[in-house]
Structure 1
Amino acid sequence: MNVSTLSFSRPDLAEELDRCSPEQLDGLDFGVIAFDADTLVQRYNAFESQAAGLSPQRVLGQPLFTNVAPCMNNFMVAQRFEDAQEDGSMLDATIDYVLTLRMRPVKVALRLLAAPGGVFRYVLVQRQPR
């Protein structure tokens, strides 16, 4: 798979990310945080690790919305994943957001992806150019 074709806004992105190796995820130019039904982080790419200043060792296996990114534990992000899981519905939403944990406020676009029966759920982070 050619990761250069995987853009932040690609329509079938969740399915493509499910098939990516960790090395392919590391080649992307946006942050990828993949988590399971228990919200434990299972995949965390190099772009996001560097941008957030958190090593994969510190993030992998940790609950996303309480230990890793509590600034996303709200109705705009975490609740949307809960609602989609409860309803068995597809989630594909892109929102403007401000990350505030462990850093100065940073404007980003978040893409929230979850599919019924999907391998992982995703928070994708696209940082705004300076």
Structure 2
Amino acid sequence: MPVTATVLPGFDSPDLLPWLEAADATLLDLLPFGVVRLDRAGCVTAYNAYESERAGLRPATVMGRPFFSTVGICGNNPLVAGRYAAEPRLDALLDYVFTFRLRPVPVRLRLLQAPEARHAWLLVCRRAPQAAA
């Protein structure tokens, strides 16, 4: 069944992975959260408008590049990148802080992949910074 823009899934939608797998770049750009689609080697194959705007990186500059070693280096650790290697079936939420360009950015990540899926997915939802106590 083709996906349409009439009902866009949310960041926490339980059936998000099949929707993402069927969506084209135009639909990914409509989502109100960041979407990074990775091939099985970890290279970027889609980078939606939301993530491009927030990160300040044009999709053309990240396409085909290894995400965790050249684009999202702050996620190249056991908590994020390591999960994709260790867990063939993955649907995990993680509160995280990107240290992009030395400016901490609190985010909630959703890590998605499944053996039957063609891609791995890194979803990014910005969080409000927590006030100091």
Per the normalisation by structure 1, the TM-score is 0.92
Q: In structure 1, what is the equivalent of residue 14 of structure 2?
A: 11
Q: In structure 2, what is the equivalent of residue 47 of structure 1?
A: 50
Q: In structure 2, what is the equivalent of residue 108 of structure 1?
A: 107
Q: 1:113 to 1:3 in 2, by over 3 A?
A: farther
| Structure 1 residue 101 displacement after superposition | 2.0
Task: Tell me how far apart the structure 2 counterparts of residues 3 and 92 of structure 1 sit (CA, whole Å).
Answer: 25
Q: Are positions 1:61 and 2:64 aligned together?
A: yes
Task: Tell me how far apart the structure 1 counterparts of residues 60 and 30 of structure 2 sit (CA, whole Å).
Answer: 19
Q: In structure 2, what is the equivalent of residue 92 of structure 1?
A: 91
> Contact 1:112/1:124 (CA < 8 Å) preserved in 2?
yes
The list of structure 1 runs, each at least 4 consecutive aligned residues, that deviate by more than 2 angstroms after superposition, is 2-5
Q: In structure 1, what is the equivalent of residue 26 of structure 2?
A: 23
> Contact 2:106/2:128 (CA < 8 Å) preserved in 1?
no
Task: Tell me how far apart the structure 2 counterparts of residues 3 and 17 of structure 1 sit (CA, whole Å).
Answer: 15
Q: In structure 2, what is the equivalent of residue 124 of structure 1?
A: 123
> Contact 1:41/1:60 (CA < 8 Å) preserved in 2?
yes
Gap regions ≥5 residues in structure 2 = none
Q: Secondary structure at the match of 1:32?
A: strand
C-alpha RMSD over aligned residues: 1.3
- State how many pairs are aligned: 126
| Structure 1 residue 3 displacement after superposition | 5.8
Task: Tell me how far apart the structure 1 counterparts of residues 126 and 108 of structure 2 sit (CA, whole Å).
Answer: 6
Instruction: Please list the CA deviations of residues 69-122 of structure 1 after superposition, one character each: whole Å capped at 9, or x if unmatched.
Output: 0100001000000002xxxx3100000000002251010000000001211100
Per the normalisation by structure 2, the TM-score is 0.90
Gap regions ≥5 residues in structure 1 = none
Q: Secondary structure at the match of 1:116?
A: coil
| Structure 1 residue 21 displacement after superposition | 1.3
> Contact 1:3/1:27 (CA < 8 Å) preserved in 2?
no
Task: Tell me how far apart the structure 1 counterparts of residues 115 and 37 of structure 2 sit (CA, whole Å).
Answer: 15
Larger radius of gyration: 2
Task: Tell me how far apart the structure 1 counterparts of residues 38 and 5 of structure 2 sit (CA, whole Å).
Answer: 23
Percent of aligned pairs with the same residue?
43
Q: Are positions 1:35 and 2:38 aligned together?
A: yes
